[in-house]
Copies of this chain bind each other. A is one copy, B any other.
Amino acid sequence: MRRTQRAKRTAGAIATLPFSHVRNPYQPVEVLSADHVEHIHISALKLLATTGMRILDAGARERLAKAGCTVDELTVRFEPEVVEAALASCPSTFTLRARNPEHTLTIGGNHVVFGSVGGPAFVHDLDRGRRAGTDAEQIEYLRLTQALGVLHQEGGGPFEALDLPADTRHLDFYLNAIRHLDKNWQAIALGRERAADAIDMAAISLGTDRDGIVDDPAVMAIINTNTPLTLDIPMAEGLMELAAAGQVVCITPFTLAGAMAPATVAGALVLQHAEVLGVNVLVQQVRRGAPVIYGSFTSNVDMRSGSPAFGTPEYTKAAQASGQLARRVGLPLRSSNVTASNTVDAQSTYESAMSLWGALMGGANLINHSAGWLEGGLTASYEKLIIDAEMLQMFVEYFRPIEVSDDTLALDAIAAVGAGGHFFGSPHTMERYETAFYSPLVSDWRNFETWRDSGSVDATHRANGLWKHLLEDAVDPPLDSAIDEALADFVTRRKKVLLP
């Protein structure tokens, strides 16, 4: 069954994997001892009880007071029992609907979800250079995200469409995402309105209303704390809107060691853990049992310049430690595929590899920004999208355990070939010819002379050709015309309210 999901090796076809649900069958790497996990957990509880968090939104503070927290002006302090009680009501695994039911995601356990890049200010490709993006280009990027079967989720807008008004841009993005994708897409939870519109539009796209998704969520958004220990008003509003509607909150502190967090991985982790746990009290107070994801984004700065660095060894260790901390509190883990490189070169992939291996062998359930991220998240790259998709496809194959059976061990075939022979034309090989091994998207395995004589094209330039081919062949998934019309009406109505 899984075997048939491999890319068909049709001559000339692009070897994109079809959509498939991915599980990581291997045990996570543990970079911390059990004692150290407990030390970090206890320290985070202590921090919440003593220093507490600054919660800028008055409504959020009121709810936290009701949850049993101590409120002192903007500062909220959390007793360990309050934190633990909130954790106890979180589901460890849940689903997240897509408008194609086959693309509905499971978050938690050993499930792995790959989301596309979300949030950059700029967009880049080799032909058009680095620039502010437009609505038309955003649609291109979304169509590529749909075409790449290895991507399970759209990441909340690949870049801003700067040709559209700021206050209503989110509506256009949601409509684009629904029209050009039948996969789950992330909402933008910056303020109540943006979160509310996402919930309403996701419900309409599923032919239902808020009641129809309150216990069966279809919307997820990233909620960033303002590290250290601050939750701002727009994020608190977005969070409360999502949680009230039963939708998924991914709490992600940006604990950059040496800047907003201490210059130690352990210090950044304790801050990350405290912020996730504190904010979860608010989520659970709004709606007990609301699904929450433990977001890890701990990295470090370059101590020479203060620039954020990504895909560093510290990042890798922090991602794996975060897996241990998330499992300690029973939450699914979100991590990312990140690099600080300014161009799609060798650095961009060795940093991506460090972050992907950290995330995936740390047991991450959601890899945010898993394809397309460049420049520390300032730019969404067309070529990096394709190259990252190749790296993700390789992980999908890596996650298929080696089949060990008399048939695959092939003792009879080895005996038949005999010492000194070869397996090129053996029946055992011919039976497996089509599907034996992973077929690459970008990698060029031809010999040097053939590669040179066909133009010495490197991986980044091959990726450039590939996204153009994918765009040419892209077909939008069918959308019921009544639903499309209802969505368009919603957007028109809301634009009148927001831009009167």
Residues on B with beta carbons closer than 8 Å to the beta carbon of A191: none
Closest residue to A447 on the B side, CB-wise?
B307
Against B, the Cβ 8 Å flags (1 = close, 0 = not) of A380-418 are 000000010011001101100111110011110111011
Interface pair A267/B447, CB less than 8 Å apart: no
Interface pair B258/A436, CB less than 8 Å apart: yes
Interface pair B418/A51, CB less than 8 Å apart: yes
Question: A residues 252-277 with Cβ under 8 Å of B?
Answer: 257-267, 269-271
Complexed CA–CA distance, A76 and B411 (Å): 17
Interface pair A350/B347, CB less than 8 Å apart: no
Q: Given A29-B361, A387-B346, are A228 and B264 neighbors across the interface (CB < 8 Å)?
A: no
Interface pair A26/B31, CB less than 8 Å apart: yes
Interface pair A401/B31, CB less than 8 Å apart: yes
Residues on B with beta carbons closer than 8 Å to the beta carbon of A264: 403, 408-410, 428, 432, 436
11 contacts between A and B (CB under 8 A): A50-B415, A226-B420, A228-B418, A262-B429, A266-B409, A303-B439, A308-B445, A346-B348, A346-B349, A347-B458, A379-B448
Interface pair B348/A411, CB less than 8 Å apart: no
Against B, the Cβ 8 Å flags (1 = close, 0 = not) of A196-236 are 00000000000000000000000000000010111000000
Complexed CA–CA distance, A193 and B79 (Å): 75
Residue A57 at the B interface, CB < 8 A? Answer: no
Residues on B with beta carbons closer than 8 Å to the beta carbon of A341: 443-444, 459
Q: Given A265-B402, A403-B264, A445-B309, are A419 and B342 neighbors across the interface (CB < 8 Å)?
A: no
For chain A, give the interface size range: 35 or more
Residues on B with beta carbons closer than 8 Å to the beta carbon of A418: 51, 228-229
Name the contact of A346 in the complex, choosing from B344, B394, B395 (C-beta under 8 A): B344
Name the contact of A397 in the complex, choosing from B314, B342, B350 (C-beta under 8 A): B314
Complexed CA–CA distance, A432 and B36 (Å): 21
Residue A52 at the B interface, CB < 8 A? Answer: yes
Q: Given A398-B316, A460-B345, are A307 and B445 neighbors across the interface (CB < 8 Å)?
A: yes
Q: Given A303-B433, A443-B347, A458-B343, are A36 and B266 neighbors across the interface (CB < 8 Å)?
A: no
Q: Name 7 extra pairs, CB < 8 A, besides A228-B422, A313-B394, A345-B459.
A: A26-B30, A75-B419, A260-B423, A265-B402, A301-B437, A303-B439, A309-B445
Residue from A47, A391, A420, A440 with most neighbouring chain B CB atoms (10 Å): A420
Q: Which of A102-110, A167-175, A351-359 contacts the other chain? A: A351-359
